[in-house]
Amino acid sequence: MHLFVVNPNSTASMTEVIRLSAVRVAGPGTRIEAATVHSAPASIEGHADEARATPPMLDAIRAAEGRGADATVIACFDDLGLAAAREVARGPVVGICQAGVQVAMTIAKRFGIVTTLPRSVPIIEDLVESYGAGRLCRRVRAVNLPVLALEEDPAEAFARLKREIRLAVEQDGAEAVLLGCAGMAEMCRALQVETGVPVIDPVSAAVKLAEALAGGGFATAKGGAYAFPRDKAAPAPVCPAVTG
């Protein structure tokens, strides 16, 4: 199976973290193709970053299917462009937030999420709500570090993550904790060992669910909302204005 794992930001070192996490859990017959969206922002922190990253990510997904990809994983916890990707793809497309939430709902009655920046908290809350787990997710916590700080100061990031995971269990009643960023994959195992609570790496969750979907023959439904975009004559470049 050919699994396309796209990191929708332009930071190649994060792609490598993601790739390693994917390779670690992939089944024996799975080939992981990890990609960086080079024309995207360096990290995805908010809706505007999402918007900038989505069009080149869609192109990358379409190209990957052209190269034979059987399924796609969008490896950013904002699940940016997920619905659009399902429109342009034929195979299944999995967002790491949705995948992580589905795993969390299956192994625990109540769970928590720990992400990077406070500004991402409502974005993630809205995603979790749309995936039907709003009532089951006790709270979305933030360690208050930018995404790229996970690489720059991993010791500090680890300490903060450990602290928030413990608070999620003790104060919020979480039974498992979902990491809210693709860049946290490396730390997942150690966090689970040190806290003693199941910690879910969303990249691993998404890789396994993507394998499951493709392996089970489940493809995106193309007869309704996820139909391929209609081809319309594409017009000129920049954006002048008409004044009334």
Stretch 174-203 residues interacting with a second copy (CB under 8 A): 174-176, 196-198, 200
Answer whether 36's CB lies under 8 Å from 11's CB: yes
> Which listed residue (14, 17, 49, 191) binds a second copy by CB under 8 A?
49
Answer whether 115's CB lies under 8 Å from 137's CB: no
In sequence order, the 6+-apart residues with CB closer than 8 A to the CB of 200 are 100, 103, 104, 107, 111, 176, 177, 178, 179, 188
* 210, HSE (Cβ side, Cα atoms, 13 Å): 35
Q: Label residue 229 exposed, middle or buried (CB < 10 Å: 0-12, 13-18, 19+).
A: exposed
- Residue 48 engages a second copy in binding (rule: CB under 8 A): yes
- We find the least distance from the C-beta atom of residue 208 to a second copy, in angstroms, to be 4
Nearest to 168 by CA among 142, 194, 189, 193: 142
Residues in 139-168 at the binding interface with a second copy, rule: CB under 8 A: 146, 148
Owner of token pair 């989505």: 54
Output 123 or 161, the one with its CB closest to a second copy: 123
Residues in 208-237 at the binding interface with a second copy, rule: CB under 8 A: 208-209, 211-213, 215-221, 223-227, 229-230, 232-237
> Which listed residue (14, 17, 52, 180) binds a second copy by CB under 8 A?
52
Residues in 107-136 at the binding interface with a second copy, rule: CB under 8 A: 107-110, 118-119, 121-123, 126, 129-136
- We find the least distance from the C-beta atom of residue 48 to a second copy, in angstroms, to be 4
- We find the least distance from the C-beta atom of residue 15 to a second copy, in angstroms, to be 6
Q: What is the Cα Rg of the chain in Å?
A: 18
- We find the least distance from the C-beta atom of residue 74 to a second copy, in angstroms, to be 12
Tokens standing for residue 75: 């490896």
Q: Which stretch binds a second copy (CB under 8 A): 38-46, 153-161, 178-186?
A: 38-46
How far is the C-alpha of 82 from the C-alpha of 200, rounded, in Å? 20
Answer whether 176's CB lies under 8 Å from 188's CB: no
Q: Which stretch binds a second copy (CB under 8 A): 24-32, 149-157, 158-166, 178-186?
A: 24-32
- We find the least distance from the C-beta atom of residue 179 to a second copy, in angstroms, to be 13
